[in-house]
Amino acid sequence: MSSPDTPRLVDSFSAPKEVLQEFADLAEEENFDPFAETASKRQVAARQSDYHNRRFNREGVESADAFKQGGDAGDSGYKEAMRLQMLEKEEARVRRAIEDKERKREEEEGISAADLDKTPPRAEFQAAEKELAVISAGAKRKRRWDVAEPSEVAKQEPESTGEWSEKALEESAPKKRRSRWDATPAEASAVAETPKRSRWDQAATNTEDDAPMAQIIMNAPGLNQDDKHNRYLTDEELDAILPPTGYVIVTPPAGYAVNPARKLMPPPTPVYSGFQIQEDSDAAAQAEAAGLAPDLPTEIPGVGSLAFFKAEDAQYFAKILKEEDETVLSVDEMKERKIMRLLLKIKNGTPPVRKTALRQITDKAREFGAGPLFDKILPLLMERTLEDQERHLLVKVIDRVLYKLDDLVRPYVHKILVVIEPLLIDEDYYARVEGREIISNLSKAAGLAHMISTMRPDIDHADEYVRNTTARAFSVVASALGIPALLPFLKAVCRSKKSWQARHTGIRIVQQIAIMMGCAVLPHLRNLVEAIAHGLSDEQQKVRTMTALGIAALAEAAAPYGIESFDEVLKPLWLGIRLHRGKGLAAFLKAIGFIIPLMDPEYASYYTKEVTVILIREFQTSDEEMKKIVLKVVKQCAATEGVTASYIKQDILPDFFKAFWVRRMALDRRNFKQVVETTVELAQKSGVAEIVGRIVNDLKDESEPFRKMVMETITNVVSSLGASDIDERLEVRLVDGIIYAFQEQTTEDQVMLDGFGTVVNALGIRVKPYLTQIVSTVLWRLNNKSAKVRQQAADLTTRLAVVIKQCGEDQLLSKLGLVLFEQLGEEYPDTLGSIIAAEGAIANVVGMTQMNPPVKDLLPRMTPILRNRHEKVQEASINLIGRIADRGAEFVPAREWMRICFELLDLLKAHKKGIRRAAVNSFGYIAKSLGPQDVLSVLLTNLRVQERQSRVCSTVAIAIVAETCGPFTCIPAILNEYRTAELNVRTGCLKALSFVFEYVGPQSAYYCDSVVTMLEDALTDRDLVHRQTASTIVKHLALGVAGLGCEDSMLHLMNLVWPNCFETSPHVIGAVMDAIEAMRVTLGPGILLSYVLQGLFHPARKVREVYWRIYNALYLGAEDALVPFYPDLGELSEGQNVYDRHPLQMFI
């Protein structure tokens, strides 16, 4: 920014504010898209970081299949790939050199503007301002850059290029500025050669460079300048928009360059990018693609209607958007259009359309061929506006197609990798899994040798992003093809003399293998460690760091085994921590932290002592990352067996508390957690009193986050180790501190509450002296103005109830109960829920008879609350009511219970399963105390309602009533209700019966004959669901009565169930098969076998299939028992084959 004493520039060089505002408003009105915000969240690229989006800079190369017989492996093999990679590296080097030179030259000139990422020095601004002042004064100034077009100068709008002269342009710049990220300094020299063009022309021009190779990825139309979103405004357009006076073109700052990606991008070559071919017949579609025709199609010829269609899709699918005469197309063109249609269906279609299209593309994959398929799929995946769902579907297509193509895929391995590798570092877990699966399938299809030769060039790629993703991809290959197969290659790469990048990537591959495969590295642990061990003494710092991280990952994966494999790295590691500082040291410490837990106790103790010196020194560090690692290592060391309590107390604790138990550590959430975890781990060794004693005074610290950190630590320590170690004096300080911290909190959260509850419960009866004080605090807070405070007080009551009862302070409980009762009018649902829960907790410990307020007063008060729609309130009330119904139903008049029954029906609609279950159980309790008749009639009537969920819950409740009050009370009523003509009611009755028989088990034997007629009716009903539910009843009945002498009626039911075995609907056939299985148990396998034998060799295959399915189930269930029942087939013997079972034909 300019210095304050320079005069403020008036907007004489710019349009008046209101004019600009008008345009901005217009633009906003027209382009306002209410979905834009959510759409950008769904878009993968919009969500991801710059690092992730570096994937757009990559390009895939096609490689020949070296394994193909007779194929020409000539140009595009491994050699070629390596050559290209060398070329790229050299290019990067030259660019850097040019950049350096440029910078030096500018420095000499006194303007160091090359690095646009940095804030330019003040002098530059002043220079710019001077320049602008001159322009605005109207003085003609000689231009270096656009001398050729002086006539236009006056009309042009000053373009804000990056942060350059931001202050000066503050008033005048157009609303949407191009961010400074657009400007890439590196290619300055490359663009500098086109001095004649205006700044806006450059990007819009399609430079007809000759492309060195096919760039399938970069050809994605989404990146094309022709796209209406990315296109720069032309001079003509700007002229049309802006007022004719008041604008000038300012010179770009020195060192500014147009984004080279746009500038240098080669035009699409027809062979590889089918979408881009500019044919005459395509003109209309192309115009549409460019956004000239605004409305998007919803119906595509040959595709049908789609779920959605985006503007970007029009570019990719331009060719199939219009009708064309198919007879003039060649076979290849037809094929291409076919693929495009299928892809469009998969990407944008409705689920059924998508499903069939996916199957078609899979079935025809080999017919289409790898080339045409991937040429279409891969650019779609690189589209910037791609959304998660689309990406998922396209990845799925690749996966399916890969299976089919198998080794045909070889030439496309690199292209696929370029697109899929970014998935490996996606923040979405499922995307990572999908990426892994594809790469694993790819490596199985292409083979190890081809994968290595394809990915080898990327290992020492100049871009760190590429190396990172390649390493991850390699680890997937290793897990797919086995570590031993990849090991020789890994060893070679890790020892590469050519470049440190290769070694770095090699070691990173090992690290990724360890992270991905976990304990599966154990068999190869020694080899893997040996492969990377030498990296600890590499000359490159980055390699050393990565090696240490790799060893850390291996040790973590191997834990608790495999210490012997790490022998050779122990010495360099422990020496290394004395030699390194900063990042390197952090990595080394991390490795040590993971190795120590693997050691034998005595070694662990020795090595811990060695490392402690450094750790204690690093306690002082100001580096956040280092702090976290140090804390982690301390935790790991403390957890090892060999480290003694006295050592921790003497050598670690004093410095540890001095360095980490400071207020600042509590401010960052991650530090907070780490400190708490480490301290808890130290407490496991050194004891509760030692740790709690050190921090208990800080419960009264003035910083609230710090108090929370103390509280959380105490909570965790006490809950894992108990409070028996705490002596009387400490106990006083502790309880005092906790009450203080609890009262002083400004933001009520779980930490204080949990801490209070945990400590008080751990102290148990020892807390009695403090109870009066605690309860008065609670009572006072229950009447607080803030709802949050009241809620917290109620929650605390819930936790304290048990302890108060233990201490025998019943009158305190009854006082709390009364106060809570008075609070039941609470209006905040969260608070109300807590209050009801607290009341419930008190009722729980005191018992229904002693409860104050008496249950007969409490329950009527609860009835209206049941109507509250809030989930928490519902759950708390239903729990309380259920408890009362269970234990003290007799204290409440029957009429009140019936009222509650009706209210409970509403709860059956609740979303939360817990609420529904509690409600259903409450019906059982109420029925038990009232007798089932009334409750049952309520429930049976409820079967008539519309909602399925409510009906289902009613059936369950009926079954529970039947279980608690005896089936004889319910079954007649259910059978009677079954005669209703309504389908829902009949199904409901069947369901209820099915649950009844499931719950009552062997008691079913008494009711078996009474339900047979009803089941006859249900099993011969036309309705599928009826037969299905009836089959379920038969299953439960049959299992219940097994061995109880009901075979006759069961056989009758079996005859009714059997014909249903040809049903095809999955639920029905499942229920029928279950019923048949259950029959095997009741009737015995012999009878079942006689049924099955009828159809095992039936002439119709469909019959045979079903019968064999039943036979197999029968066979698996009763293999041995079938032996005596197999028919005697001796008469079928022929020739050498004798089918008599002689051993069974012997007799004495």
Partner 1 sequence: MSSRAEGELRYTANTQLEHLHARYTGTGHADITKYDWLTHQHRDTLSSIPGHPTLLSYLAIADGEAKGRVKFELAERMLQPCGPPPPKEDD
**Mind giving me the DSSP string for 642-702?**
TS-HHHIIIIIHHHHHHHHSSGGGGTSHHHHHHHHHHHHHHHHHH-HHHHHHHHGGGGG-S
By the rule CB under 8 A, 1135 interacts with partner 1: yes
Tell me how far, at minimum, the Cβ of 1101 lies from partner 1, in Å. Answer: 6
Rg (CA), the chain: 39
According to DSSP, residue 892 is labeled S
Region near partner 1 per CB under 8 A, out of 315-323, 363-371, 685-693, 1100-1108: 1100-1108
By the rule CB under 8 A, 1143 interacts with partner 1: yes
Tell me how far, at minimum, the Cβ of 1031 lies from partner 1, in Å. Answer: 18
3-class SS at 911? coil
**C-beta contacts of 120-124 below 8 A and 24+ residues apart:** 120/163, 120/164, 122/2, 122/3, 124/164, 124/253
Tell me how far, at minimum, the Cβ of 403 lies from partner 1, in Å. Answer: 15
342 alpha carbon, distance to own chain's centre:
29
Tell me how far, at minimum, the Cβ of 1122 lies from partner 1, in Å. Answer: 7
According to DSSP, residue 908 is labeled T
Tell me how far, at minimum, the Cβ of 1086 lies from partner 1, in Å. Answer: 14
Tell me how far, at minimum, the Cβ of 1115 lies from partner 1, in Å. Answer: 6
Length of the chain: 1148
Q: Applying CB under 8 A, which of residues 236, 1064, 1099, 1131 lies at the interface with partner 1? A: 1064
Identify residue 989 by its one-letter amino acid code.
Answer: C
By the rule CB under 8 A, 104 interacts with partner 1: no
Q: Applying CB under 8 A, which of residues 210, 1066, 1099, 1131 lies at the interface with partner 1? A: 1066
Minimum CB distance to partner 1 smaller for 657 or for 1115: 1115
Closest CA to 212 of 119, 324, 315, 75: 75
By the rule CB under 8 A, 1136 interacts with partner 1: yes
Note whether 758 and 719 are within 8 A (CB).
yes
Closest CA to 926 of 943, 939, 908: 939
Q: Applying CB under 8 A, which of residues 753, 1115, 1117, 1131 lies at the interface with partner 1? A: 1115
Return the HEC string of 569-634.
HHHHHHHHHHHCCHHHHHHHHHHHHHHHHHCCHHHHHHHHHHHHHHHHHHCCCCCHHHHHHHHHHH
Distance in angstroms (rounded) separating the CA atoms of residues 262 and 372: 27
Q: Applying CB under 8 A, which of residues 105, 122, 175, 1102 lies at the interface with partner 1? A: 1102
By the rule CB under 8 A, 280 interacts with partner 1: no
By the rule CB under 8 A, 1116 interacts with partner 1: yes
Residues contacting 97, CB < 8 A, separation 6+: none
Closest CA to 846 of 792, 809, 890, 885: 809
Minimum CB distance to partner 1 smaller for 807 or for 1110: 1110
Residues contacting 280, CB < 8 A, separation 6+: none
Closest CA to 553 of 510, 505, 585: 510
Tell me how far, at minimum, the Cβ of 674 lies from partner 1, in Å. Answer: 47
Tell me how far, at minimum, the Cβ of 1082 lies from partner 1, in Å. Answer: 22
Tell me how far, at minimum, the Cβ of 356 lies from partner 1, in Å. Answer: 11
521 alpha carbon, distance to own chain's centre:
26
Minimum CB distance to partner 1 smaller for 400 or for 883: 400
By the rule CB under 8 A, 1131 interacts with partner 1: no
The pair of structure tokens assigned to 184 is 């890439």
Q: Give the largest CA-CA distance in the chain.
A: 131
Minimum CB distance to partner 1 smaller for 976 or for 1133: 1133
Minimum CB distance to partner 1 smaller for 818 or for 1123: 1123
Region near partner 1 per CB under 8 A, out of 618-626, 967-975, 1009-1017, 1109-1117: 1109-1117
Minimum CB distance to partner 1 smaller for 952 or for 1122: 1122
Tell me how far, at minimum, the Cβ of 1068 lies from partner 1, in Å. Answer: 11
Asked, as a colleague might, if the bond just before 853 is cis with ω within 30 of 0, I would say: yes
- Determine whether 95 is exposed, middle or buried from the number of CB atoms within 10 Å of its CB (0-12, 13-18, 19+): middle
Tell me how far, at minimum, the Cβ of 1144 lies from partner 1, in Å. Answer: 7
Q: Applying CB under 8 A, which of residues 829, 945, 1109, 1117 lies at the interface with partner 1? A: 1109
By the rule CB under 8 A, 1146 interacts with partner 1: yes
Distance in angstroms (rounded) separating the CA atoms of residues 1025 and 28: 56
Minimum CB distance to partner 1 smaller for 547 or for 1031: 1031
Minimum CB distance to partner 1 smaller for 396 or for 788: 396
Minimum CB distance to partner 1 smaller for 82 or for 1138: 1138
The pair of structure tokens assigned to 660 is 């980490």
Nearest 10 degrees: Cα torsion 361, 440, 476, 373 = -30
Region near partner 1 per CB under 8 A, out of 83-91, 498-506, 703-711, 1133-1141: 1133-1141
Distance in angstroms (rounded) separating the CA atoms of residues 1080 and 1117: 8
Residues contacting 808, CB < 8 A, separation 6+: 768
Q: Applying CB under 8 A, which of residues 291, 335, 1104, 1117 lies at the interface with partner 1? A: 1104
By the rule CB under 8 A, 1147 interacts with partner 1: yes
By the rule CB under 8 A, 1101 interacts with partner 1: yes
Q: At what angle do helices 483-494 and 464-481 cross, to 10 degrees?
A: 150
Query: Any bridge partners for residue 8, and if so which?
Result: none
Alpha helices in 448-521 (DSSP H): 448-459, 464-481, 483-494, 500-517
Tell me how far, at minimum, the Cβ of 1038 lies from partner 1, in Å. Answer: 23
Considering CB under 8 A, how many residues would be counted as binding partner 1? Answer: 34
Tell me how far, at minimum, the Cβ of 1106 lies from partner 1, in Å. Answer: 9
Which residues in 382-417 are b (16+ Cβ under 10 Å) and which e? bbbbbbbebbebbbbbbbbbbebbeebbbbbbbbbb
Region near partner 1 per CB under 8 A, out of 185-193, 528-536, 663-671, 1135-1143: 1135-1143
By the rule CB under 8 A, 1123 interacts with partner 1: yes
Q: Phi/psi at 1049 (nearest 5 deg)?
A: -70, -30
By the rule CB under 8 A, 1065 interacts with partner 1: yes
By the rule CB under 8 A, 982 interacts with partner 1: no
Region near partner 1 per CB under 8 A, out of 88-96, 256-264, 608-616, 1123-1131: 1123-1131
By the rule CB under 8 A, 352 interacts with partner 1: no
Minimum CB distance to partner 1 smaller for 729 or for 1101: 1101
By the rule CB under 8 A, 1132 interacts with partner 1: yes
Note whether 410 and 68 are within 8 A (CB).
yes
Site string for partner 1, 1010-1049 (x = CB under 8 A): ----------------------------------------
Minimum CB distance to partner 1 smaller for 433 or for 1096: 1096
By the rule CB under 8 A, 86 interacts with partner 1: no
Q: Please report which helix (H) or strand (E) contains residue 261, including its range.
A: helix 260-264
Distance in angstroms (rounded) separating the CA atoms of residues 954 and 259: 68
Tell me how far, at minimum, the Cβ of 1028 lies from partner 1, in Å. Answer: 15
Q: Applying CB under 8 A, which of residues 1096, 1099, 1117, 1131 lies at the interface with partner 1? A: 1096
By the rule CB under 8 A, 1112 interacts with partner 1: yes
By the rule CB under 8 A, 1141 interacts with partner 1: yes
Residue ranges binding partner 1 (CB under 8 A): 1064-1066, 1096-1097, 1101-1102, 1104-1105, 1108-1109, 1111-1112, 1115-1116, 1119-1120, 1122-1123, 1126, 1129, 1132, 1134-1139, 1141, 1143-1144, 1146-1148
